[in-house]
Chain A
Amino acid sequence: MRPRTLVFIACSPQPRAGVSTTARLLTDYFLSRGQAVGGFDADPRDPRYFGWFPDMVSVVDAADIKGQIALFDRLLENDGVPKVVDVWSRSYDQFFATIREIGFIEEARRNGVEPIVLFHASSAQRTLSKALDLRAQWRDLWMFAVHNEGAAPLGAYAREILPRYPVRGKFVIAPLEGPVARALDDPDLSLSRFLLAPPADMSIVVRAALKAWITPVFTQFQSFELRLALESSSVLR
């Protein structure tokens, strides 16, 4: 059976939840494995995701029909190239309303495309409510919670809050110390190339900390891919 093309929708109804960071990490993960990626930054006002990958990420205005065509028609292509969408928090409601209106999830599945929602958790009840709304609308939608411990820390309540999210699994992104976070903000820093050849002028302390931060995230992504491959495998049926 031909593997499905994956479409990752990184989103949060709350601002500053680390959505763009997730989009970046996921894109760099695929690039580090020599795989092409298609990226879409749905924040036309401050496209951070686009800033890191200007050659492979398109900026789209998902509130505009032309932007929707540029985005969703492309996402439906079953070309084997994973796609990553960075959904702007302010357009969260409109984005999923559009998905519902045009029947994107259903059409994607018919086309051999699997939408995967990377829902960024927070301590706000509204965030959990939105996740539950998504699950109620699409019962078999692939949803994973992302806990960015730096951008949206749950602290001691993580064990209590995260299980409430109606998700298949979770990804955890550790916090970063100030100097390391500042290094990460450099738009010219490619995380995929960093793992192969860190910049010569980078502090060795920062270098080590960054590597220690990236590696567990990439390991989680790899585990996810393996899990997906196992679940799709005809050998195990």
Chain B
Amino acid sequence: MAEKKSKPSKQHPAAKPDAARAPVESSTTKQGAKMKPAVIIVGADKGGVGKTTISRALLDYLAANNVLARAFDTETPRGTLHRFHPDETSIVDLTSTSDQMKILDTLATSQVKVSVIDVRAGGLGPALVALEDTGFLDAAKAGEFTFILFHVLGSSISSLDEIAEIAPYVGDARYFLVKNHVNDTTFFEWDPLTHRKYFEKVVTAGEITIPKLNEMSYEKVEIAGTPFTTFIANKTASGDDADHSFVLRGYVRTWMNRIAEEFDRVGLLELISAKGGKTR
């Protein structure tokens, strides 16, 4: 499978308490070429595989790299992603025409060039069908948008079967298989036959491995209801000083650093900042 070459790792900027922030990224490069809007879809066939966790980590990563992003949470009406990132997240129904317009019609006109769509569990297939019907996939093929898909895998065979099911829709996408080690799943790496059957016959932009975060740290962030970076910085959602355990903050910081290294390794920032033109 096609994979990006390794990039040098770096510490997650948010992990450094006094990190100086680079200037806010402009949507227009020095040469005047406009940055293409980028759509990152995070989806999974099952619940409980950590899809929304990855969306949250992704939003933190983009913020730490000064990339403005907006998010759409399709877990209507509850909106788990919205709970942690209320300022940049809208709760939408991807089957609704008006919500489709809210997302897709503003891709080119919005000042915020990166859109993260957190697709509800089991909704990845229908979401891609909806995007095809609206012409989004054709527009991505024509190079109007950068289309990135994070397909979060579970540990079941049915999850792996979904890889083949969505393959027809992701030909023009940067398609990443995301292995989220929420438990001790091995994604069948111990069984070469099964592993080959599912992972080595699909063309992807690469694999992303999300390490496991211990349950106590994860639950503490859940209770805090803040982005991971806010928890690491020992702040509340309103910006006041919090009283979170340093040990738990340290674990979350190291976990976020490792995720940032993975995103850096696959060149996510470079993909997002692609200039106008075809994706392939």
From B248, B250, B251, B254, contact of A107 by CB (8 A): B250
Residues 99-111 of chain A: 1 if any B CB is under 8 Å from the residue's CB, otherwise 0? Answer: 0011110010010
Bound complex: CA A101 to CA B250 (Å):
7
Bound complex: CA A195 to CA B141 (Å):
84
Say yes or no: is B253 at the interface (Cβ < 8 Å to chain A).
yes
Query: Is B251 within 8 A of A101, CB to CB?
Result: yes
What residues on A are CB-neighbors of B251 within 8 Å? 101-102
Q: Total interface residues on B, using CB and 8 Å?
A: 13
Query: Is B247 within 8 A of A68, CB to CB?
Result: yes
Give the contacts of A21-76 with B (CB-CB under 8 A): 65-66, 68-69, 72-73, 76
What residues on A are CB-neighbors of B245 within 8 Å? 69, 73
Say yes or no: is B169 at the interface (Cβ < 8 Å to chain A).
no
- Given known contacts A65-B214, A65-B216, A110-B17, is B250 in contact with A73 (CB within 8 Å)? no
A-B contact count (CB 8 A): 34
What residues on A are CB-neighbors of B214 within 8 Å? 65
The 3 closest A-B pairs by CB, nearest first: A102-B250, A69-B247, A69-B245
Give the contacts of A149-175 with B (CB-CB under 8 A): none
Interfacial residues, chain B to chain A (CB-CB below 8 A): 17, 214, 216-217, 245-251, 253-254
The minimal Cβ–Cβ distance linking B223 to chain A, given in whole angstroms, is 15
What residues on B are CB-neighbors of A69 within 8 Å? 245, 247-248
Q: Total interface residues on A, using CB and 8 Å?
A: 13
Query: Is A101 within 8 A of B254, CB to CB?
Result: yes
Bound complex: CA A104 to CA B250 (Å):
8
Nearest residue in A to B215 (C-beta to C-beta)?
A: A65
From A65, A66, A72, A101, contact of B246 by CB (8 A): A72
Bound complex: CA A107 to CA B248 (Å):
13
Query: Is B17 within 8 A of A103, CB to CB?
Result: no
What residues on B are CB-neighbors of A102 within 8 Å? 246-247, 249-251, 253-254
The minimal Cβ–Cβ distance linking B140 to chain A, given in whole angstroms, is 40
Bound complex: CA A76 to CA B251 (Å):
16
| Other A-B pairs beyond A65-B216, A73-B246, 15, CB < 8 Å | A65-B247, A68-B247, A69-B245, A69-B247, A101-B250, A102-B247, A102-B249, A102-B253, A102-B254, A103-B250, A103-B254, A104-B246, A104-B250, A107-B246, A107-B250
The minimal Cβ–Cβ distance linking A220 to chain B, given in whole angstroms, is 32
- Given known contacts A65-B214, A65-B216, is B253 in contact with A103 (CB within 8 Å)? yes
Bound complex: CA A127 to CA B17 (Å):
35
What residues on B are CB-neighbors of A65 within 8 Å? 214, 216-217, 247-248
Query: Is B246 within 8 A of A76, CB to CB?
Result: yes
